[in-house]
Each structure stands twice: as structure tokens, then as C-alpha cells.
Amino acid sequence: MIITIPWLKEHLKTKANEKEIIEKLTNIGLEVDGVKENSDAMGLFKIAKILKVEKHPNADKLKICDVSIGKKEILKVVCGANNAREGLITIYAPPGAIIPKSNFKLKVAKIRGVESKGMLCSESELNLSDLSEGIIELKNREKDLGKSYFKSKSDRSIDISITPNRADCLGVRGIARDLSSTGIGKLLPIKKRKFKKSAKHSIKISIKKDPNQGCLAFGSCFIKNIENKESPEWLKNKLIALGLKPISAVVDITNYVMFDLNRPLHAYDADKIDQEIIVRDSKDGEEFEALDNKKYKLKKGMCVIADKSNVLGLGGIIGGTKTSTEFDTKNILLESAYFLPSSIRKTARSLSINTDAKYRFERGIDPNSILEGLEIAADLILKICGGQVSKFLVGGKNFNKNKIIEFDTSRFENLIGIPIDINEAQKIFKSLGFECKKSKKYLKVETPSWRPDITQDVDLIEELIRIKGFNNIKSVDPEKKRESETLNFKQKLFHLSQRSLASKGFLETVTWSFTDSKIDQQFSKGEKEIQILNPISSDLNVLRRSIYSNLAIHLKKNQDRGYEDLSLFEIGPTFYGKNPGEQQIVIGALKSGKVSRKSWLEKERSFDVFDIKSDVIKTLTELGVPEQYLFVNDNTKECYHPGRSGSVLLKSEKGPQLAYFGEIHPAIIKKMDFKEPNIFGLEIFLKNVPEPSKKIRQTKKNFQASDFQKSERDFAFVIDKIFKIGLLEKIIREIDYKLIQNVKTFDVYQGENIPKDKKSVAINVILQADDKTLSEKDLDQISKKIIEVVKDKTGATIRS
Amino acid sequence: MSELDKINSIFNAKIDNVKNKEELQNIKTEFFGKNGQISQQFKYLGSLDSDKRKKFASDLNKIKSDLSNQIEQKFFEIENLEINEKLKNEKVDVTLPVRPYQQGKIHPVSQVIDEISSIFSEIGFSVAEGPDVETEYNNFTALNTPEDHPARDMHDTFYLQKDKKLLLRTHTSPVQIRAMLNGKPPFKIIVPGRTYRCDSDQTHAPMFHQLEGLHIDKDITMGHLKGCLYYFIKEFFEVKNVKMRFRPSHFPFTEPSAEVDIGYRIENGKIVIGEGEKWLEILGCGMVHPNVLKNANVNPKKYQGFAFGMGIDRLAMLKYGINDLRAFFETDYRWLSHFGFDPLDVPTNYRGLSK
């Protein structure tokens, strides 16, 4: 909502200056977004005429226009608008002008090799409307060539952001009323107008009792024998200051009343109405051409204003071309109605129309302003365009009963924390237009018809504190007391995982929860896709089912920038259904490239599956799963290299899936065209990480260390090639948990001297007893046992 | 000159000329070997009269320990010399680079969430969460934003279903509803999380992070809200004082509603939070609307309290001088390395939130 101080002062008697007014506005919840200087800068925009149009030699869509601004000089301006043509009167912006929409300062510039001195403007570029197609077309302005389009003395405009509950402040008067309640000034009364109602209201108006009827009241008057014309300067300036384009006196006056009183009106060319006005539900498929020059196909049950043969307008949203007023319009029907906010909203949304009237009606117009709006507009039309007015007819519902709230002022203190005096409350209410009656315990507060947002006592409390001032609320220091844990187990895991991965050299990233379905498919075969109906772009069209999708996309982007040795991770949701909660938190990490690339010290080597396995195992143990509970096998998913990947499960192969790790499938690498194709990943599923039932301190055994010498024995087993070494180690470990302290494979060999279907595995075993130093005899005994058990369980022989 | 003095002077003359361990060994044999000069004297001891023997024995022992000490000392001297000689050839260029390693980093959003959690933990808030996909009811209707409410226009919503019943939450506020439906008052939670709006330009991202706060009890007033937020802002920006103002605003789910501005100024091109003539809007808040409490099965006649919501990404930008919101989510290796945090820098209230 834009206002100017002089306009405001037509409703508010105040000595306050602009700065004081702006501060007050902000303090009462009418936030000032900005103040725009309309004066000098805007004076640079000149009314101009295109004298000649030539094709641009280097661009099909561009034209070179010879532009005159009334002087002898002809300006060459490059323009891309379709409607740029010889003889067109439009608005010219010279170099140095600042385009209001983009805040871009124009310079003399070469456009595709041709110099352009400034530009010709569209309505949207000047913030006059949203119309961005083509440049502005002015009519009857040839005499004004070279004059500033915006009056250089027009007022500074103050842009106020009005919250959706404050429909009443979508008019200057409403803002003045709110300001008056702060004590900054006095709200001036609207002066009564007297009419000689000499014309006959010759158009019958009926509101049909249709099931969806969105129009609750319809007021109108007939004005005949007018002379429609350009508005007088004062009116044009008012509208221009608001960023509107003056059209004709009749239209400008209806707009003026809308912005002045928040009372939308509509004027019909009465001679174009077929017999009568019928307010009804639309029929399915009915068509109508609106004033935005678009044709709309209506659905059943939209509120339309029609005559005997056509739809003339969408009530409260937009009028139609059939009965639009023109400069030659002689007789008009002026409409002032009340439409249901929900009906307006539904229709406008379904047709995607946004207008100033719709914006106001959907927020709630004062239903008791129907007559006032008609009177003020009729008065102005008679003054500017002449003619005779009929009586004012208002049909439909009567709105003279206001809501009454019984308000207990002690509720104010309960909620806000500071008391309010009942007299102070009464004073604030009155200044806002509420009627108050004191009764014993409470105030009987009657809400004015322009405040549909006030329905219960908290709304009244807000009004009081808003005007009393939020700065009067006394701050209460928070108590430093904690009664429940800040984080639950899963949340602790989440935070710990971040630090755990980052401490292993991974950079944490945060990516969208949605991704490109084409990439997501690569990583989530066979799972159902979860589509977003209105994605921001077609390559962000599904919720990610795999944590890898976005990581892979971004890994590639980084590789393309020349960074190949990368470790990235993200912890976040992946989705397996479109219902709330069908999601889980997954840690995903990708690393690509080499270790020690170009190091003088270390031999460079490619990352391999054991690098990523280390990361998985280390992370899981840091998350609290004891290493002996981590069961690793080679079951894997399709997105991994089938031979170089694995699973980590809890305790056994039947246990919950803790993680996958391994090389990303070469087919995916190829399809996504990675520059550095050596890529490994890990996925850890946090929901499967078990929550210990006890604290570590409760489960930790007493410290016991043997004082006796430890011994080592190395074994080389020749075993089936496919036999899993993890299992072999486990078999040995289980032979004697007391004696065997550690089992470690230190070499795996296949080749010469070993049968083709076998491998040689060298294992180091550490032996230690609690009660003595093991003798040669003891050691021989246990070694023999190890060899026997291994042979027994695996068929392996000791390598000689 | 006695025999012992003679031995001593011979020894002294010899040991000074010793150059290496071998020569030292020779001296050791010469004096302490089986037939060495000292050993000879011990043999001679037996032949002495008992009255002379005592003194001689004591002299002999003294000279024995003296000489062997000298040998030992000489041994260390030589050894040191040898080591130092060897080390002369072992010099490396320590200015050569270290073993390559990758420095991991924590994303600024995560770091800031940890900071926020740490601050609110001090005053008794717990962290709650909710799903990213929400029902239209939880995201709007239950929060006092019925279908025809214009406030819905302010949220450009991503939908998962034609009937618009399922969507990506546009704010963290639906977690208020979930938390209240799942528990009993009092409620004292913060909710950091991902939120979504289909809006994308320089200053808007289709996904961003919000922090929701909710405190419901029997006597929580707007004064508590003010105190809580003042405490948070002061702690978060790690400043002694903060200029803060509450400005009336409107959110369907709170009444009264306020937006909170903090004072700031620009110094040497950097933003200084807390003081200054300019105002910066940082969050929205208010007293939870009775309709919301009713929808969450909480009796508004018994319970009341406040809620607030703020942009985590924006807080991170302000605190750590990050200009571009979009960069948060673009995973540029260089950006992550530049703005990311060392995993060891865990925000705590005793060591401080940030370095």
C-alpha cells in the first residue's frame, strides 16, 4: 500500500513530519518498506514520439527508432518491443535515468553494435503495472512531447507493507485512523455530500439465490449525460504517485476511491448493458473477456455480474471489455458491492488473476462502505464530468449489526505481563473506532464493520498493546533451569556423525531434499519415485530417495572445476514414500581421486574400497557400536561395484543394516561422465544404530592387564580363494578368547607356488596369559590347536 | 711417590689422549683387566701387614672408583662425539611440505544449529523435530490458516499431491502441532529444520533452514518472550548488549504477533550487530493463538505461551559475514573449505560458542 503525506493529511490533522509519521507507522504494525523519491529523478522520463523505425542490422528482434522529444534533435534508440512503430507516443528514458523496476542507471550503450541513447519504457519497467510486453502507448499526448511524464513535483510515496489481517489499512483513511489512535493527530470526519438525484435508475439489478452466491450486497447508481475525459492534474498526480497509470476520469475516480477508502467500485458503460444486471453463479464453460484483454473460460459457480446476454465482469475481481467505459461513454452505472472473501479468493486463484480489487475483497472490505463509496465517487464524477445522478440503490444483506466481545482487561496483563488501565483501554478502542461500554467486570467492545479480523479477546489485546507500544512490555529474564535433556539419542547421533565424518577429512555439505529424477534413478533402482507437482525446475522434480543423488551431482561439478581429490558428506533425509514420516536420516559420503597426489613424500595411490571401509567402521565405532558387533559381508546394492563393495550389519547377517560402502558402479560413473572416475561412497542409516540401554561407564569392565610377557606367532594358511578372511580371523579369535589377544592378517597372496583356486593368508596372532609367561611348550600347544581348528573348519592347510 | 700415585699419573696421562672407544677399551684392560695394574695391586694387598693393609685398601678402592668413573665419563664423551658426528650427515630440509591430509569441515548451518542448541539448552529448551513432508492440515489449517486465508499466498508451497493435501513444509511451525499433540504441557522446545518454498532468486532458496521455538505453560507472558529472545540474540552474536525492538506484525498462528529487529551498523565494510542506527529484521514471534492450542488439544484457558521462528541460514550469514544464501547449498569445495568449521570447534557454553 502506497500513500503520500499530503493525501494522508486529507484524513489526518497532524503537525507531525514525515519522519515522525513513518516511525509511528512502524511502531503500530504498519511497516514502512521504503520511501520513494518521485521528484527529480522521475522527471527525467519524457513523453516522446517515434518518428521512424528501422530494422537492427545485427539482431532480428531489435529495432532502431528515431525518437523525438519535441526538440529538433532526433535520438537513436534501440528497442526490442513488438509494438514499437512509427507515430507511437510513448515514454522515453534518457541516459542517466534510473529505471524504477531494476534500479538500473541508463548509460549510452552499444546494443549489438548500434549505439542507443537511452530507452523506451514498458509499464512494468516504470512500476506502473505488471505489463511488460511492449512499450507504453499513450493517447492524445502529442501536445506534451518533451514534457516529463511524471510530474516533477509529485509527492514522495511511502510504501507500507500491510499484513493480511489489516484490510482496513488498504486505504489511506484506514491508515490515518490507526495513526490517530497513537495521538499523533486527529482523524478528520468525511464531509457529507448532497445530491440532486434527478436521473432515473433505469437498470434493474438482481442478486440470484444461487448455491455459491459470492455477492452479499450490491449498491449502485446511474449517472447520465457525463462527459468522460482526462482527469484533472490533482487526480492524475495522486494516481501516478501510487504508481498507477491515469486512464480516464471515470476510471481514475473509481481507483481513487478504492485507494482512499479501501472501497473498490466499478463503472459500466450503461449503454452497453443488455437490459439488466444479474449477479449470479457462472455456468460451466462460460466465456468472458476481461479488462486485461484476456479471455477467461469460467468454471461453474464463480460469482459473475452479467446482463441478459453476457458476463460483464467477475464480481470484485475484474470488469469486462464489453461494458468498459471509454472517453465517449455518456451514461454509466456505478457499482459498489460486497463480495465474500472466500468466493473471491477461490475464483481468482483458479483463474490466476490478481487485481487491486481482488486483493482488497479477499481480505475483507467494510460492507458498510457501499453507500459512502457511491456518494464520494458520484460526487467527483458530477464535478469533473458533469451529468445527473440517480438515487442510490443498495440490495442484499444488511450489515448493520456489529460483533460484540465481552473483554476482561485482566486478560491483558495475564498475556502481556504488564497491566492496562481500563480507561486507557477504552481510549485506545475508541480511537480505533470500537464502541465500548463499561460493565462491572469487563468492557463490552463492539467491533467496527471494517475490522473483520477482530473476533476474540486476544485480538483486542493485540490492538491494545500495538497502540500502547511493544516497547512497554517488560522483559523477563529466562530461568537457567533444565528439566529434560536437550537432545535425544538420535539427535545426539546426528550431531556426533557430523563431527565424526568431518574429522576424517570429509567436507560437510547441505543440499536440497529434492533432486533430478534422472540421477536419483541411478542410485535408487526399483523404488517408487516421489514427484513434486510444482518443482522449481524440471531437474529438481523428485524427493531424493538416495543420499547419493545430490552428492554425485555436486561432486561432478567440483571435479569439473578441477578439484578431483575430494571427500564430501551430507547428513539428511531421504524419502521412501510421500506420506509424512516416510523418510529417514542417512549419512552419505563420497570420495574421489587419489591419496597423496603429487607428494614428494608419499607414493600417490588411488582411493580404494578399504579407505572407505575404514571410514565406515571408524564412524560406526565412534557412534557407539562396538567393533566386534560390526558384521561385514559383501551383500550390496545395485549402485555399487559388485565386487568392490559391502554391507555392515549389526552383529550378524540378519542384523539391521547399518551401512553400505564401496566403489560406485562404473556404469553410473560413465553415465554421469565424471572426470575422475575413481569414486567411493558410504551410506550409514542412523535409525539402525542401536541405542545402548546403559551408559558406557556402567558396562565397562574393570581394568585388568596381564603383567606377563606377550608372545606372537605368525601363520600362513593356504585356503580356498573364496573363503572370507573376516571369517577366518573370527574362527581363530574364537578358539581361546582368554589366550588370544589379537588376530591380524598381514598378507594375502595369490600366484606362484599357490594352487589357482587357493590363496595364502598370513596371520599374526598375539598370545598372552593372565597368570604366567607362556612357555615354548604352551605356545606350541596353542599353535597346534589353531592349525587344527582352522583346518577342521575351513580345510586350510599350513603353508610349508 | 707411592705405587698408587704412579698408577694414577700414568692413567691420567693416557686417558687424555684417548680418541675412540677402542683405545678406551685398551686402557680399561690395562688397568682393570685380569693382569691390569689395579688388579695387580689388589693381589698385592694380601701380602701386606694388617696395620698397613687397611689404609692401602681404602686408598686402592678410592683410586679404583675414581679411575673407573673417569673411564665411564670418557665413554659417554666419546659416544656423544660419535653421535654428533653421525647426525651431521642426517640433516633434512624441514621446510618441505608435510604429509598430505584432507581437512574436513562442518557446514556453517550445522555449526550454527549447534550454537543455537547450546544456547537454548542453557535455559531449558529441548530439541524437537518433524517430517519434511507435511499434511496441509498441520502446515496451515491447524496453525489457524484456513484454506481461504490470504496468508497462504505468502508461502509458495511445493505440493506432492494434486489435491494439495501433502506438501513440503513451508515452515517449522507444524512441529508445534505435532509436539503438542504428542505430549502434555508444559512444552519448551526448539525445532531446527529444513523448510521449503518454491521461490528461487538471489536472496531466496527453495530450501532453507528455520528455527522454531515454543514455550507453553500456565503463566508464560509476552515478557518472557522478550526476555528469552533478548537472551538468545545476545548469546548468539556474543555481544554484551543488543539494541532490540519488537514491532507489531501478523502471523495467523500467534496473537499478538511481532517482528523483532536488532540494531546494527556497518564498520569497515563489515556488519556490527547490536548497536547502531539501522534496524535489521531477524525473526517473527508472538503469543500462540488460542485456536492453535485448541487444534493441538491444549486448553487455552489453562495454558498459554509464546512461539518464534527465525531463519538459521540468515543468522549464519549475519554472524559469519556470508553474503550469498545460494552458496550455502551449492557444495563448492572452495566455499565449504572457506566457511566451514573445524570439527573440533564444538560450540559449548563454557569454552565459548565460537573461536
What value does the mean pLDDT take over residues A705-731?
Answer: 92
Question: pLDDT tens digit string along A70-108?
Answer: 888 888 889 888 888 888 889 998 888 888 777 788 888
A398-420 burial, b for 16+ CB within 10 Å, e for fewer? Answer: eeeeeeebebebebbeebbbeeb
Out of A57-61, A265-269, B44-48, least confident range = B44-48
For chain A, say whether B137 makes contact (Cβ under 8 Å). Answer: no
Beta-carbon separation of A27 and B247 below 8 A: yes
For chain A, say whether B228 makes contact (Cβ under 8 Å). Answer: yes
Q: A89 — alpha (psi -120 to 50), left (phi > 0) or beta?
A: beta
User: Which regions of A106-259 does DSSP assign to beta strands (E)?
Assistant: 109-111, 114-116, 119-120, 157-161, 185-187, 204-207, 215-224
How remote is the C-alpha of A46 from its chain's centroid? 38
Give the three cell numbers for residue A486.
536437550
Dist. CA A517–CA A537, nearest whole Å: 11
User: Which regions of A104-253 does DSSP assign to beta strands (E)?
Assistant: 104-105, 109-111, 114-116, 119-120, 157-161, 185-187, 204-207, 215-224
Complex-level ipTM: 0.89
Dist. CA A545–CA B153, nearest whole Å: 29
Cis peptide before B256 (omega within 30 of 0): yes
Instruction: Report yes or no: A549 and A534 within 8 Å, Cβ to Cβ.
Output: no
Q: Which domains does chain A have, with CATH numbers?
A: 2-38+156-187 (3.30.56.10), 40-144 (2.40.50.140), 204-396 (3.50.40.10), 404-472 (3.30.56.10), 489-688 (3.30.930.10), 708-798 (3.30.70.380)
For chain A, say whether B21 makes contact (Cβ under 8 Å). Answer: no
Largest CA distance in chain A: 131
A39 pLDDT more than 60: no
Dist. CA A788–CA A765, nearest whole Å: 15
Dist. CA B299–CA B185, nearest whole Å: 10
How close is the nearest chain B Cα to the Cα of A141, in Å? 39
What's the pLDDT at A779? 93
Residues contacting A705, CB < 8 A, separation 6+:
none
* CATH code of domain B108-339: 3.30.930.10
Instruction: Report yes or no: A428 and A468 within 8 Å, Cβ to Cβ.
Output: yes
Question: pLDDT tens digit string along A318-346?
Answer: 999 999 999 999 999 999 999 999 999 99
List of chain B residues with pLDDT < 50: none
Which chain B residues contact residue A512 at CB under 8 A? Answer: 206-207, 329
For chain A, say whether B235 makes contact (Cβ under 8 Å). Answer: no
How close is the nearest chain B Cα to the Cα of A630, in Å? 25
What's the pLDDT at A526? 76
Nearest beta carbon to residue B333 from set A495, A507, A582? A507
Neighbours of A311 (CB within 10 A): 23
How close is the nearest chain B Cα to the Cα of A378, in Å? 31
- Torsion sign, CA atoms B73, B74, B79, B84: positive
Give the three cell numbers for residue A318.
475484474
Which chain B residues contact residue A573 at CB under 8 A? Answer: 132, 194
Beta-carbon separation of A164 and B150 below 8 A: yes
Nearest beta carbon to residue B124 from set A461, A481, A601? A481
Question: pLDDT tens digit string along A758-781?
Answer: 999 999 999 999 888 999 999 999
Beta-carbon separation of B331 and A511 below 8 A: yes
Residue ranges per domain, chain B? 3-87, 108-339
pTM of the model: 0.85
Task: List % helix, strand, coil for chain B (3-state, nearest 5).
Answer: 40, 25, 35
Residue ranges of B 70-89 with Cβ closer than 8 A to chain A: none
For residue A723, CA distances in Å to A610, A727, A763 come to 18, 8, 14
Q: B269 — alpha (psi -120 to 50), left (phi > 0) or beta?
A: left
Neighbours of B255 (CB within 10 A): 25
How close is the nearest chain B Cα to the Cα of A80, in Å? 25
Burial (Cβ within 10 Å: 0-12, 13-18, ≥19) of residue A153: exposed
What value does the mean pLDDT take over residues A594-621?
Answer: 93
Out of A286-300, A552-566, B143-157, B226-240, least confident range = B143-157
Residues contacting A204, CB < 8 A, separation 6+:
A275, A276, A277
What's the pLDDT at B123? 96
Dist. CA A73–CA A189, nearest whole Å: 53
Beta-carbon separation of B250 and A164 below 8 A: yes
Question: pLDDT tens digit string along A98-146?
Answer: 887 777 888 888 888 888 888 988 888 887 776 777 888 888 778 888 8
Amino acid at A85: R
Dist. CA A348–CA B7, nearest whole Å: 122
How remote is the C-alpha of A732 from its chain's centroid? 60
Question: pLDDT tens digit string along A683-709?
Answer: 999 999 999 988 888 888 888 888 899
For chain A, say whether B109 makes contact (Cβ under 8 Å). Answer: yes
What value does the mean pLDDT take over residues A770-794?
Answer: 93
Question: pLDDT tens digit string along A207-226?
Answer: 999 999 999 999 999 999 99
Burial (Cβ within 10 Å: 0-12, 13-18, ≥19) of residue B85: exposed
Give the three cell numbers for residue A120.
523506451
